[in-house]
Amino acid sequence: MPVLAGQEAERPDRARVYAAVVRTDEILTGLLSGLSVAAACCAVVLARSGGTGGLLLVLVSSTGLLLRGRLFATVRQRLPLLIAGCAGLGALLLHWPDRRAAVFALLAAASVAAVAGIRYRGRPPGPYLGRAADLLDAACVVSALPITVEVLGLYGRVRDMIG
């Protein structure tokens, strides 16, 4: 409870609060690292044997991980998400049916990243770019569920049950 005016309650020890914050930060970092390893492994499996829906799910989830990584301030929390997103996109490009399109997409993404890095190295991006990233992140999160249902074949099962 917060200390109200006129109350003489003891405040928590500063060292205990600091230790709790450090432990919470360590737990968050561990959770993000575990999630990233699982996401990268799942992306490899889906890209290899998931069909078109699996490739689309890998694309959406890897893009979502890359966009979600920008929300964390520390490198130790941001880096696992970025590595998992890049691993998913790498698995996607390795198992893409059309090799020319995969190479073209890789070159286009590298060009966009290089131009963005050169442009924004001295100043932060504007609020419109951040808002666009927020919207794309939300679209990736929302679209993951219907794509997952398609990958699992639940649409076909429901269609068979109905008619």
18 located within any domain? yes
pLDDT for 4 equals: 65
Say which range, 22-26, 47-51, 72-76, 95-99, has the weakest mean pLDDT.
95-99
The tens digit of pLDDT for each residue in 39-58 reads 999 999 999 887 889 999 99
Does the residue 5 lie in any domain? no
Q: Is residue 151 part of a domain?
A: yes
**C-alpha dist (Å) from residue 75 to 7, 29, 30, 33, 78:** 41, 10, 13, 12, 5
Does residue 93 lie in a domain region? yes
Query: Number of structural domains, the chain?
Result: 1
Q: For 98-151, what is each residue's pLDDT tens digit? A: 888 888 888 888 898 888 878 877 787 788 988 999 999 999 999 999 999 999
What does the pLDDT read at residue 31? 97
Task: Give pLDDT, residue 95.
Answer: 85
> What is each CA distance from 10 to 1, 44, 59, 143, in whole angstroms?
11, 53, 52, 49
Taking the C-alpha atoms of residue 46 and residue 42, their distance in angstroms, rounded to an integer, is: 6
Band the pLDDT of 9: cuts 50, 70, 90. low
Residue 82 is part of which domain span? 14-162
